[in-house]
Chains A and B, each alone.
Chain A
Amino acid sequence: DAGVIQSPRHEVTEMGQEVTLRCKPISGHNSLFWYRQTMMRGLELLIYFNNNVPIDDSGMPEDRFSAKMPNASFSTLKIQPSEPRDSAVYFCASSPSGSYQPQHFGDGTRLSIL
Chain B
Amino acid sequence: DAKTTQPTSMDCAEGRAANLPCNHSTISGNEYVYWYRQIHSQGPQYIIHGLKNNETNEMASLIITEDRKSSTLILPHATLRDTAVYYCIVRVVNQFYFGTGTSLTVIP
A→B interface (CB under 8 Å): 4, 31, 33, 42-43, 45, 48, 50, 55-56, 91, 93, 99-100, 102-108, 110
Q: Which of A43, A100, A104, A110 contacts B98 (CB 8 A)?
A: A43
Q: Which of A56, A103, A104 has the most CB of B within 10 A?
A: A103
Mostly helix, strand, loop or mixed at chain B's interface?
Answer: loop
Question: Which listed residue (B34, B43, B49, B100) contacts A106, Cβ 8 A?
Answer: B43
B99 at interface, CB cutoff 8 A? yes
Q: Give which listed residue, B45, B91, B94, contacts A56 with CB less than 8 A.
A: B94
**Residue contacts A-B, CB under 8 angstroms, 23 given:** A4-B43, A31-B94, A33-B94, A42-B99, A42-B100, A43-B87, A43-B98, A48-B95, A55-B94, A91-B43, A91-B44, A93-B44, A99-B93, A99-B94, A100-B51, A102-B34, A102-B46, A102-B49, A103-B46, A105-B45, A106-B43, A107-B43, A108-B43
Mark out the residues of chain B between 75 and 108 whose CB falls within 8 Å of any chain A CB in the assembled complex.
87, 91, 93-96, 98-100
Residues on the B chain within 8 Å of A48, using CB: 94-95
Beyond A56-B95, A100-B49, 18 additional pairs, beta carbon < 8 A: A4-B43, A31-B94, A33-B94, A43-B87, A43-B98, A48-B94, A91-B43, A91-B44, A93-B43, A99-B91, A99-B93, A100-B32, A102-B49, A103-B96, A104-B46, A105-B46, A107-B43, A110-B41
